[in-house]
């Protein structure tokens, strides 16, 4: 069977032989992993860029003194069956800030917005924001980028109006939490403090936009609450999870207002999973089937077909061993399926990121205590890429607009069952607050799909998205990157 750089060809099923079918039988159920590829940095932080590349970075050095980051950009091939080589790594150093344990998201213009970081010792944050421009490959410090206070381990989320909320983080020690949320004013620049939303929130909170009213749900990893970002802001109670403690857990957004929380916590929690639907008549958390493996410090990733992949994690953050098999959750059944096992344990400071070709890039782990540092990467090929021919998209608009129809051209229009919009991801510490999954309404025509954009920013904040068409047998196309405005 033909293969490219260790990944089987998964394209044209018309040429599939009986031998090929036998070879595909297992991967079609459990997926497959690429060979391990050497890298240039521990992927503690990662973001997918509008051109299909990614940027990754780690801490500034073993002694963590303020000095230039080892920040590298990495160009990812967009065709299935290919592996990027080490020659594709290109350094893009940030010579001013140590962006270790910062928070990041993508602005509506596709630039990477990074807040906080480390100043000296652990728990000591910095009070600045910086921007990576993917078109110039340069870091920019915008006017007004100084916050009121420092942040180390904050989370960020792009709001329905394009502004950015930053929440939590420590300032000058483990017990010195930053309790005042701030909002970056995307148009004018500069910050406004949400003094009416003063609240103590666990570091790297899980943030999700409520489609009903645009408030931000803090879904974990400890307590739950709503943050109102209008004016001076406000805080209100939110439904409590079934399991209160999910420190070291992870979450994913698998539909408008739909959240899956998994792992973390103590030994009674770290196999469990629960879900929440903000659009339900009476929203409440419900328990779903538990995972086969207990996981702390794993990463959850929503796939184009709406299933959720969980990779990595283990008993503790430093290892040396971890959970190697991935697991896949099907929201239609509430069941988990065990996937193929990766070659390298991915524990604390590891990442997983969906790529436009439908694979998931997994890497990182280490840079703490006695843990081994993993600069290597591995790519998970989900089962859907072994089930049959991929639908193709001949053209899609570069920009789409809220509530407005647009046309995608595809020779496979008659077989398309789903169209998914997934916002470009930005991941660190098992947290991807940039992730949005929106199933778009559409109708079929002769060689075209008539698609309708999301109704408003509550359902999908402005910015860059991958748009996938998914066939009736569950196989996604290569994602086209479009800007939602």
Contact 88, 82 (CB under 8 A): no
Q: What is the 3-state secondary structure (H, E, C) of 166-186?
A: EECCECECCCCECCCCEEECC
The Cα–Cα gap between 461 and 485 comes to: 9
The Cα–Cα gap between 208 and 428 comes to: 16
Closest to 274 (Cα-Cα) out of 238, 243, 315, 308:
243
Contact 122, 169 (CB under 8 A): no
What angle (nearest 5°) sits at the alpha carbon of residue 183, between those of residues 181 and 189? 145
What angle (nearest 5°) sits at the alpha carbon of residue 94, between those of residues 365 and 485? 90
Structural domains in the chain, sorted by start: 3-24+37-386 (2.130.10.80), 399-484 (2.60.40.10)
Terminal Cα distance for the chain, rounded: 43
- Ranges assigned E (strand) in 315-428: 325-330, 335-341, 350-354, 360-364, 377-381, 399-400, 405-409, 416-423, 426-428
Spell out the residues 6+ positions from residue 466 whose beta carbon is closer than 8 angstroms to its own: 304, 354, 356, 421, 422, 424, 479, 480, 481
Closest to 256 (Cα-Cα) out of 60, 111, 461:
461
Half-sphere exposure (CA, 13 Å, Cβ side) for 267? Answer: 1
Q: How many C-beta neighbours within 10 Å does residue 281 have?
A: 5
The Cα–Cα gap between 299 and 354 comes to: 11
Closest to 400 (Cα-Cα) out of 459, 354, 463, 445:
463
Contact 148, 97 (CB under 8 A): no
The Cα–Cα gap between 252 and 258 comes to: 8
What integer pLDDT is reported at residue 73 of this predicted model?
A: 58
pLDDT in tens, the chain (485 residues): 233 233 333 333 333 344 444 555 699 999 999 999 888 889 999 999 999 889 999 887 644 344 444 455 566 654 555 555 556 677 887 888 889 999 999 999 999 999 999 998 899 999 999 999 999 989 999 999 999 999 999 999 999 999 999 999 999 999 999 999 999 998 888 999 999 999 999 999 999 999 999 999 999 999 999 999 999 999 999 999 999 999 999 999 999 999 999 999 999 999 999 999 999 999 999 999 999 999 999 999 999 999 999 999 998 887 788 999 999 999 999 999 999 999 999 999 999 999 999 999 999 999 887 788 999 999 999 999 999 999 999 999 999 999 999 999 999 999 999 999 999 999 999 999 999 999 999 999 999 999 999 999 999 999 999 999 999 999 999 999 999 99
The Cα–Cα gap between 370 and 130 comes to: 31
Beta-bridge partner residues of 227: 216, 235
Please provide residue 37's backbone torsions phi and psi, each rounded to the nearest 5 degrees. -115, 135
The Cα–Cα gap between 33 and 341 comes to: 8
Contact 149, 195 (CB under 8 A): no
The Cα–Cα gap between 265 and 443 comes to: 44
């Amino acid at each position: 069977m033909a293969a490219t750089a260790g990944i089987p060809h998964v394209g044209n099923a018309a040429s599939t032989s009986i031998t090929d079918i036998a070879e595909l039988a297992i991967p079609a159920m459990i997926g497959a992993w690429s060979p391990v590829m050497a890298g240039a940095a521990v992927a503690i932080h990662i973001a997918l860029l509008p051109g299909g590349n990614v940027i990754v970075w780690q801490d500034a050095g073993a002694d963590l003194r303020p000095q230039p980051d080892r920040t590298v950009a990495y160009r990812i091939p967009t065709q299935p069956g290919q592996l990027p080589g080490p020659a594709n790594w290109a350094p893009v150093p940030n010579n001013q800030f140590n962006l270790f344990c910062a928070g990041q998201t993508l602005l509506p213009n596709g630039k990477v917005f990074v807040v906080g970081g480390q100043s000296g010792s652990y728990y000591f944050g910095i009070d600045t924001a910086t921007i990576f421009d993917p078109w110039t490959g340069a870091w920019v410090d915008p006017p007004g980028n100084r916050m009121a206070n420092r942040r180390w381990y904050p989370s960020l989320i792009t709001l329905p109006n394009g502004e950015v909320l930053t929440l939590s983080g420590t300032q000058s020690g483990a017990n010195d939490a930053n309790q005042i949320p701030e909002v970056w004013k995307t148009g004018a620049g500069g910050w406004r403090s949400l003094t009416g939303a003063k609240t103590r929130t666990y570091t790297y909170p899980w943030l999700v936009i409520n489609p009903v009213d645009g408030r931000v749900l803090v879904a974990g990893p400890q307590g739950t609450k709503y943050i109102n970002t209008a004016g001076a802001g406000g805080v209100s109670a939110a439904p409590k999870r079934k399991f209160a403690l999910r420190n070291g857990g992870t979450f994913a957004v698998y539909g408008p207002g739909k959240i899956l929380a998994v792992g973390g916590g103590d030994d009674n929690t770290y196999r469990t999973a629960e879900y929440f639907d903000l659009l339900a008549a009476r929203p409440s958390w419900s328990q779903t089937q538990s995972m086969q493996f207990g996981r702390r410090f794993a990463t959850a990733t929503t796939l184009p077909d709406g299933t959720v992949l969980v990779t990595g994690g283990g008993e503790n953050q430093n290892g040396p061993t971890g959970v190697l098999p991935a697991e896949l959750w099907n929201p239609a059944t509430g069941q988990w399926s065990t996937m193929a096992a990766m070659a390298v344990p991915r524990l604390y400071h590891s990442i997983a990121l969906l790529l436009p070709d439908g694979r998931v890039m997994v890497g990182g782990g280490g840079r703490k205590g006695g843990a081994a540092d993993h600069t290597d990467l591995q790519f998970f090929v989900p089962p859907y890429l072994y089930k049959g021919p991929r639908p193709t998209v001949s053209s899609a608009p570069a920009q789409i607009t809220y509530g407005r129809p647009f046309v995608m051209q595809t020779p496979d229009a008659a077989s398309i069952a789903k169209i998914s919009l997934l916002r470009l991801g930005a991941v660190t510490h098992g947290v991807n607050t940039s992730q949005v999954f929106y199933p778009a309404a559409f109708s079929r025509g002769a060689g075209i799909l008539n698609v309708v954009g999301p109704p408003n920013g509550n359902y999908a904040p402005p910015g860059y998205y991958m748009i996938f068409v998914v066939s009736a047998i569950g196989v996604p196309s290569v994602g086209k990157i479009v800007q939602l405005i």
